Amino acid sequence: MKFETDAIILDIDGTLWDTTGVVAEAWNKAISKLALPAKNVNAKNLKSEFGKPMDKIADSLWPNLSKSQKTKLMDECCEQEQIALIANEKKIEFPNVVSTIKKLSERFNIYIVSNCQSGYIELTMKKIGIENFIRDHECYGDTKKYKSENLRILCERNHLKKPVYVGDTEGDREACKEAGIKFIWASYGFGNARTYDAKIENFKELLDLVEPIRLPKTFIRAAVPDDAKELLAIYAPYVKNTAISFECTVPSIANFKKRISETLKTYPYLVLVCENEILGFAYAAPFKDRAAYNWCVETTIYLKQGYARRGLGRKLYSALENILRSQNILNMNACIAHASKSSQYLTNASEEFHKKMGFKKAAHFSQCGFKFGKWFDMIWMQKSLGAHTEKTKNIIPFSEL
């Protein structure tokens, strides 16, 4: 049985890696440092605790401590754990985790939700080298909310309609049930699950267990000014919630209509439609206004959130590229916000998409866009569409094709 899904959400401990040996030593160091009347821990009893929120772990391990003592000890444990994991050089991820995540990321958006402390997810991604494959994440340490609520938060933020969660404990199953998400039990992990929607005994089995949601037939047509309202509904979340667009204020419908009309005078402005709903748009614009740049364009593409990794972007961009070739355009240039570190505002998914479409990085500008109180880099990527000869062909306006 295969699951149709638009996203895969992962647990960490007991699903991606086993840190219990390293963490036990670190936590015992914290207990010794604070000299509190707390029992030492070992890898075995940590396996029965991991997956719970941090406050629940403290309640279970050290019931004799006061609330303030538990908080103080857990803070010290997390600090010592961070130090130990950064220093660790042993391979502690489960077999096939990294290679499978890389392969899955070609077809799915991948996320992480954990009951861990702040910074732990980022450390996990860095240690095993998966930063570029995780679109977003959420944890107890950042929100002080339990896993079911964090699952709902992440799904809402990323417009996920039919995700699956991969975890290893009964607590994970219960969180999925509360959040209304399918649960895949990683049986090789730390815990048990009374019921589950699917079971894997090795992480690589996910490759044969999930498949992208099949969309009804789509088609591409030229945009018209009256599409502005629907296109703006796609674009606005990128302006308001991400650094993918460096615009900080959502344009008006009238302004968007004008943009479409102006573009169509010379260049293609395309929309991808599925069952009378526009799911994405792509267009070309002048690279610069000097005449010598006439054979170069700047290209842009946006998909409705929740519809990435389904081949729609490739279909739309390929159609745009074919039209540009017909116009005798020779260079496609894309201006892309670059994330030195993935965050809720920006990942390098667009950069990776353009690489797959044959674009190559041509320039990198550091800290040139300020949004959400942060500085973001910007890169230019370029794709050549034909031979650059001394005899150039005239550019054919889109309206005349």
Reported as a single tens digit per residue, the pLDDT across 140-156 is: 999 999 999 999 999 99
Is residue 1 pLDDT above 80, yes or no?
A: no
The tens digit of pLDDT for each residue in 82-110 reads 999 999 998 999 999 999 999 999 889 99
Q: What percent of the chain has pLDDT over 70?
A: 100
pLDDT of residue 132: 84
pLDDT of residue 347: 87
Confidence of residue 306 (pLDDT cuts 50, 70, 90): confident
The tens digit of pLDDT for each residue in 307-339 reads 888 899 999 999 999 999 999 999 999 999 998
Residue 159 or residue 70, greater confidence = 70
Confidence of residue 163 (pLDDT cuts 50, 70, 90): very high
Q: What is the pTM of this model?
A: 0.77
Work out the angle between the directed axes of helices 20-34 and 67-87 (0-180°, nearest 10): 130
Could you please report the per-residue DSSP string of 167-234?
E-SHHHHHHHHHHT-EEEEETTSS---S--SEEESSGGGGGGTEEEPPPPPEEEEE--GGGHHHHHHH
Could you please report the per-residue DSSP string of 302-369?
EE-TT-TTSSHHHHHHHHHHHHHHHTT--EEEEEEEE-SS--SS--SHHHHHHHHTT-EEEEEEEEEE
Is residue 72 pLDDT above 80, yes or no?
A: yes
Q: Supply the Cα-derived Rg of the chain in whole angstroms.
A: 25
pLDDT of residue 344: 83
Confidence of residue 194 (pLDDT cuts 50, 70, 90): very high
Lowest mean pLDDT among 31-40, 207-216, 257-266: 207-216
The tens digit of pLDDT for each residue in 368-380 reads 999 999 999 999 9
pLDDT of residue 178: 97
Q: Which of 159, 349, 162 lies closest to 237, judged by CA?
A: 159
Q: What percent of the chain has pLDDT over 90?
A: 89
Could you please report the per-residue DSSP string of 226-279?
GGHHHHHHHHHHHHHH-SSS---SPPPHHHHHHHHHHHHTTS-EEEEEETTEEE
Average pLDDT, the chain: 95
**Mean pLDDT throughout 226-249?**
97
Tokens of residue 152, six digits: 């709902």
Residue 131 or residue 257, greater confidence = 257
